[in-house]
Structure formats: C-alpha cells, structure tokens
Structure 1
C-alpha cells in the first residue's frame, strides 16, 4: 500500500483522477518542485504522454521565470462544478424545415421519382 501513501502526499489531491483539462488549470498554482514531484510520480506510474507534456511545459514555464498563480490546488475541480444539461434549442428557436424529405411527411405525400419534373 505504499502506492496509496505516495498518492496522499502529492501536491494535487486525486491527481491521478483529474482529467487533462483540470490538470492544466490546477498545475498553474504549483511550484517547480511540486510539478517535478508530479512528473516523477507520473513517469513511475501511468506515464501518460499528454500528462507528461503538460507537466513538462509548465515546468519549463516556471524555470523561465513564470510564477505560480493564485489558486488553491484543493479547490473545486471544474468537472464537479455547475454543469449545463439539456439543449438550449426550443421549438421557438428551431429553424423551419425548408422542404419535405423525398419520402414525404404525414401531411404531404412523397412523389415517386418518375413524377418529379
């Protein structure tokens, strides 16, 4: 169970369950040392290329003088936030059909191919 204890000491809680988009935004609050710690963990565990690319890119930014942004690594993850469901399209905002399909509709019968002219 040493694997679990390593996960609990990582700079980002539930690191290995974060989607890539959430990781990209949350890693900005970490120091270079914390990003290096995540990178070492990633390389010895899942070694996911998109994740190592994000971590390497952020590490390079920090080494080039970027500063960690204000933020809380344990803040609510974007995927847990308020989400929109359903379609914003309503019958009032839907376009009118521009013509019946070739097979017809209940109120307008389709025409056989031979009668189209």
Structure 2
C-alpha cells in the first residue's frame, strides 16, 4: 500500500491509535478491512503486538466470527473535546481529615490502665 493509502484505511487516523484501544475498534471490521490494516501495518510500523492482534482477529473472522457493532470512527478518549489537564481541583478535593493519634476512627484506643 502506498503512503497515501493511510487516508483510505478503515480506521480513521490509524497511525495514531493507541495499541490498547485497537482491539475493540477492529471488532467492527470485516476480514477484508482487517487484511488491509495488517498489510499497512506490516509495510509501515511493523509493531509486533499490533500484527499479532490483527492476525488473531483475521483468524477469528475466517473461522466464522462476525463483525460486531461498533463505530471505528468514534471519538477516542484522548480526543475528548474540552478535556485539558487534570480534573483535580480544590473544589473536587476531599475535606481535610486528621486520624486519631491511636486506634481507628471506629475503634478508639484503650487507656493504658485497661490493658491486660
């Protein structure tokens, strides 16, 4: 496949997809589409985890598995609109808590005189 073929791959922006999210995305593809991805992967990056994943899915499809529902062009978590930085802020922080000097909050320590 030529470099311009990356724009016609069944998964948009395939080169930038994280390997962890690839498995669920290829479930909606046909055997021919998985073959296209596998050929592209082998001729470009050649990432072993990705080629193994694509090969396994292709074998499943050839053994009779059916593509499942899914949206290969769905918004990826790393593309979420409006998300920048950490969601942690003073407004989302818990109230300060000081544990008791001994024991647990549910079971206070005994005075020394009561110990046996």
TM > 0.5 between the two? Answer: yes
- Residue ranges of structure 2 left out of the alignment (5+ in a row): 102-116
TM-score, length basis structure 2: 0.68
Alpha-carbon distance between aligned partners in 1 of 2:76 and 2:94, rounded to the nearest angstrom: 34
- Alignment correspondent of 2:23: 24
* Cα-to-partner distance string for 1:12-53 (whole Å, 9 max, x where unaligned): 111111001221111111001110110011001110011111
- Residue ranges of structure 1 left out of the alignment (5+ in a row): 100-117
RMSD value over aligned CA atoms?
Answer: 2.5
- Alignment correspondent of 1:78: 77
* Cα-to-partner distance string for 1:58-90 (whole Å, 9 max, x where unaligned): 112212221111122212123223767328x83
Q: Secondary structure at the match of 2:66?
A: coil
Do the aligned residues in 2 keep the contact of 1:22 with 1:78 (CA within 8 Å)?
no
Q: Does 1:90 pair with 2:93?
A: yes
Alpha-carbon distance between aligned partners in 2 of 1:78 and 1:25, rounded to the nearest angstrom: 13
The count of residues paired between Structure 1 and Structure 2 equals 96
Q: Give the direction of change, closer, same or farther, for the CA distance of 1:91–1:74 in structure 2 (3 Å limit).
A: closer
TM-score, length basis structure 1: 0.68
